[in-house]
Structure 1
């Protein structure tokens, strides 16, 4: 057999192997997608999402409620300005608490900056614990502890957000480029100097992005906090619901929608500023 024939056979075998691996990859992805779809269908069936008769029976009630909500009643809109300011202030203060308290925990919760595996695991447990308790439950606890008003809402939003913000910050640190870190260590930098001069400059844009996103979330969550007595526009919404003033409820929801849209636009502007 000539050299050219041997090379041609080798190339053919390589192409066939590539095609075989490609086909196996697609089969594996299809199997994974089918498994995920199966889990979704089972979960949907379990919660009666696929019970179309029950869903169809609920449509008339929804339409009746929607009809009672029109037209929206803005007659008390002047009284909503202060609660909206409370909601905005709650979201800002809660996010500030979360970011400031997350920073020291972040370096302990990242594998590549934590001083010891035990410290890493304990910090992760703390973040998981804070993240696992819904802010609504925290709000009820803080209302019982410090009374009604915006303060319990701020504390609930801040503590719950530490778990999420700390997790995202830690994951950003774990994905930093190790070359600047190794260079700083080779130059004789201390652990603290490595963090400030080799790690932080790489993750500050991600930190800013996560903080702004969390502020968006906290603004929406702060509207719910008012329903447990933590002040804000949610308190007004709950009051209207209790007396079944659905036209006023719709008006408050439209005001909240407007504020969420404005906050989203402002956060988009801030993200571009930090890039």
Structure 2
């Protein structure tokens, strides 16, 4: 009789625990669902308010703008490629500008990333200084930097390369530092166990893990720098952007369309080459 009572009591306790577990899981799921709905609602409200502030919800203004754009596109057709041969030089300047800028960015980013990663920084003060420098570098738009360097070193591709390289160093350095911080600790501990010094630990325990990510980031930034080279050319930093703004200022919209098509074809080629390089480094 007592055995049956104990068995029934045990079954009752198990059922009670299952019910408690079910209620706890259900409460957690409902809480997570409510939190997700609240976050989604907050994001939507933020988007709507931002759209209203900038005028994207002004239907009449948007319709008028679309009409003006249609008129502009009609003026750009048919593209005029008469000066195509004179654009190859500036286009090459944009390409070399992007390559030089990316090389400068990597050169600056590697030491900053090593100092700006918690697991490789020699001291917390060094870590915070490196992070501050990275924040400063990427907080100044490349267009502003281009204006400064044009005033400092004159017109041409050099100020554009300097502007893009320094601005890119802030972004590339941040990505490099994040990759270093997320490196697996096992190879690092193994290198330390053999008596390796800090430099050897970085060289043999960390860099082999993050080099593919660093290469991928570098290629992606090169693609970005080529597109950005068109923008900095607008302020006199050389490249095809200078030719574009010259055509815009003289209202030669058919020539503008031709230059944009040339830029589009080159960007497509650069993106394809960048994709091939990224696959190579994976």
Shorter-chain TM-score range: over 0.9
The corresponding residue for 2:154 is 147
Residue 16 of structure 2 corresponds to residue 9 of structure 1: yes
Deviations 1:102-128 (A, max 9, x none): 111111011111111111111111111
State the alpha-carbon separation in 1 of the partners of residues 118 and 166 from structure 2. 23
Deviations 1:71-97 (A, max 9, x none): 111111111111111110000010000
SS at structure 2 position matched to 1:110: coil
The corresponding residue for 2:5 is none
Instruction: Decide which of 162, 177, 183 is 1:176's aligned counterpart.
Output: 183
Instruction: Decide which of 202, 209, 224 is 1:217's aligned counterpart.
Output: 224
State the alpha-carbon separation in 2 of the partners of residues 131 and 48 from structure 1. 28
The number of equivalent residue pairs is 275
SS at structure 2 position matched to 1:2: helix
The corresponding residue for 1:196 is 203
The corresponding residue for 1:41 is 48
Residue 66 of structure 2 corresponds to residue 59 of structure 1: yes
State the alpha-carbon separation in 2 of the partners of residues 175 and 37 from structure 1. 32
State the alpha-carbon separation in 2 of the partners of residues 160 and 104 from structure 1. 16
The corresponding residue for 1:24 is 31
- The gaps in structure 2 that reach 5 residues or longer are 1-7
Q: Which runs of 4+ in 1 moved over 4 A?
A: none
Instruction: Please report the TM-score for the alignment, with normalisation by the length of structure 2.
Output: 0.95
Deviations 1:37-81 (A, max 9, x none): 111111111111111111112222111111101011111111111
SS at structure 1 position matched to 2:57: coil
Q: Within 5 Å, which residues of 2 pair with 1:156-175?
A: 156-175=163-182
The corresponding residue for 2:111 is 104
Give the aligned CA root-mean-square deviation in angstroms: 1.0
State the alpha-carbon separation in 1 of the partners of residues 25 and 187 from structure 2. 37
State the alpha-carbon separation in 2 of the partners of residues 177 and 15 from structure 1. 37
Instruction: Please report the TM-score for the alignment, with normalisation by the length of structure 1.
Output: 0.97
- The gaps in structure 1 that reach 5 residues or longer are none
The corresponding residue for 2:122 is 115
Instruction: Decide which of 118, 130, 134 is 1:127's aligned counterpart.
Output: 134
State the alpha-carbon separation in 2 of the partners of residues 146 and 58 from structure 1. 39
The corresponding residue for 1:265 is 272
Instruction: Decide which of 245, 260, 268 is 1:253's aligned counterpart.
Output: 260
State the alpha-carbon separation in 2 of the partners of residues 113 and 41 from structure 1. 43
